[in-house]
Structure 1
């Protein structure tokens, strides 16, 4: 049997000079399409919510200044509070502001938690108030309140004074790495900076 062998030139070498020029020197429309695709990819990512461990390493216990703890963080919709404590020694109650101030949990209680590792999802822009209802604990300082703001923005900062792109300033330096307290971390600031930087370079390339 006679077998004829043929040498096949790899397809990736069969490129016309015009195609090579288009690849090496892409047009502005090609560049803008590529960068806009990258922007769309990053903007489609969901915001990663943060789990805040109440009291940090001290957990939910007596003798902790929860006012100072609550003032360290900016809480937004989608975040969660995690209460760590010895089950049976404490509990968690989400209450009204009046009950928070009086430490009288006979009324004004929305939710009761007692598992020893309770997660409270912050689902709305509002003030949240928490106490421990074990006798003497609330009056001893096991209570705090927080204000929850809007969910972190997906796009730019929204405070630019430039409206027509003329004289566009370069994007600011990247933000510092987030310093959460054991949660997933907040990549929103980094994503916002990256989108801003890519937008700036798209405009520069299209000029």
Structure 2
């Protein structure tokens, strides 16, 4: 079963706005200028003693930046972390088989892992999760090999729409082809959407 959620991106958006398309919800994200980012470090299969492997589908030409969010169990919200270690992807072309594998340091109990921003190939804007937006996140522990979901980009009327889907079968094929020794370890852990309470660079 595939589940869908839609995020609406606009380079000029500076405040929250909600829109509906079919039965999909939409959220505006703020944007600002940015520079290019370096590619992800290479992954090896012997890192699970210290790291986790997070599989995400990315059917989009946008570059993405991922990292930890500080999580509040009481309010079910997240905050941006100043100086957090980030993972940057350079998917100027759709990634192999539509999936990427990210080596993630184990999170603290009060942290969740998820995307922080998306950048077009020309680096003209930065589509960022700011206050009031809902960000897809997962809980990551040492030794995990998890599939969190797939992000798909569409363009409508000059605006960028990001949908999410869950393709566990596709993720299994990707891991089997690229990390066969880890195929038996792969577990589903769908994104949980949490509201951003604060993000330091979105003031």
Give the TM-score of the pair, scaled to structure 2.
0.20
More strand per residue: 2
Which of the two has higher C-alpha Rg? 1
More helix per residue: 1
